[in-house]
Amino acid sequence: MQKILIQFDTDSHPSTFDRVVAVDAGVDHLFSYGDVLPENVTGLVHGAMFTRGPNDLNNTAIFVGGSNVEAGEKLTARVTSTFFGPMRVSVMMDSNGCNTTAAAAVVAAKKHLDLATTSAVVLGGTGPVGQRVAQLLAAEGSDVTLVSRSKDRAASACEAIAAKVEGVKLTPAGASSSDEFVSLCKGTKLVVAAGAAGVCFLPEGTLQSLNELAVAIDLNAVPPTGIADIGVSDKAKEASNTICYGALGVGGTKMKVHKQAIASLFEDNDLVLDTAEIYQLALQVAGLSTTD
């Protein structure tokens, strides 16, 4: 039976990136939809649920993507709420690569640190990738400071994460100047910068002033980077006694995780691959999984 992936994209032109990865993950037929709104979902999902018998539904799956992560989250909620009983297909959510990027970043940190005892600072922590990085680190047991320009928004993001994962150690912080960002990073072992393109949090020379810092990761692919001492292609590169990763440095893992996640959708018909599930896959891809 042919493997069918149905791509719901919130942009007008469904992502070529996601389509190529789908093909390379072994999908036989890709049904790509652009401009998908929540109100379009039910009918399109019914067509996935009611065309193949329950025993064959693992050959049909849904991918939610597009540049707008919040819109993707709404679509995903609609998709999963349409299912009932055994009438369901597996779903992956990765709008703007948010989940695969966050997973790849945290896996990179985990290669060098015992995350359960780590203190971590997430700069740009209220954005889609930042929130997911903070969630994954907190779930691993790290003591996470989630930083945003607005302390209120940082607090909201922390609450949202705490509602998803029990017993997390999360502290919201507001900061808007380099001095404040640097100050928040003093004494921490891990910094992840997940801000918008063009935002530089830590100016050149900061790394050598952060003596405790063991790992620094910058997820901004377009210069100027969020941590000026890191190059986009850095991959476990040491600088001032800190192991550095740039966006392309975690990109290889991200691609493998994306491809592996798509492939795994067809193993069963009831998977929902969101932040936590995609992170588990990333651990396996990186050989760090304790369960597999």
Among 60, 76, 90, 95, binds its own copies (CB under 8 A): 60
Distance CA 44, CA 64 (A): 13
Q: Specify the DSSP class assigned to residue 233.
A: T
Distance CA 264, CA 137 (A): 24
What single string gives the DSSP state of each residue in 137-188?
HHHTT-EEEEEESSHHHHHHHHHHHHHHSTT-EEEEEE--SHHHHHHHHTT-
At its nearest, how many Å lie between its own copies and the CB of residue 229? 24
Distance CA 151, CA 16 (A): 37
The window from 1-9, 125-133, 167-175, 273-281 that contacts its own copies (CB under 8 A) reads 1-9
Nearer to its own copies, 53 or 287 (CB): 53
Is 48 among the residues that bind its own copies (CB under 8 A)?
Answer: yes
Is 4 among the residues that bind its own copies (CB under 8 A)?
Answer: yes
Among 38, 42, 50, 81, binds its own copies (CB under 8 A): 50
CA distance from start to end of the chain = 28
Is 35 among the residues that bind its own copies (CB under 8 A)?
Answer: yes
Is 6 among the residues that bind its own copies (CB under 8 A)?
Answer: yes
At its nearest, how many Å lie between its own copies and the CB of residue 251? 8
Is 45 among the residues that bind its own copies (CB under 8 A)?
Answer: yes
Q: From the centroid of its chain, how far is CA 155?
A: 20
Q: Specify the DSSP class assigned to residue 200.
A: -
Torsion over CA of 246, 249, 255 and 260, rounded to 10 degrees? -110
The window from 50-58, 177-185, 226-234, 265-273 that contacts its own copies (CB under 8 A) reads 50-58
Among 42, 51, 55, 150, binds its own copies (CB under 8 A): 51
Judge contact between 279 and 106, C-beta under 8 A. Answer: yes
The window from 40-48, 162-170, 176-184, 262-270 that contacts its own copies (CB under 8 A) reads 40-48
Among 38, 47, 54, 205, binds its own copies (CB under 8 A): 47
Is 15 among the residues that bind its own copies (CB under 8 A)?
Answer: yes
Measure the CA angle with vertex 132, ends 94 and 12; round to 5°: 30
Is 46 among the residues that bind its own copies (CB under 8 A)?
Answer: yes
**Coil vs helix vs strand at 29:** strand
Binders of its own copies among residues 209 to 248 (CB under 8 A) are none
Is 36 among the residues that bind its own copies (CB under 8 A)?
Answer: yes
Residues that bind its own copies (CB under 8 A): 1-2, 4, 6, 12-13, 15-21, 23-24, 28-33, 35-36, 40, 43-48, 50-52, 60, 67, 255
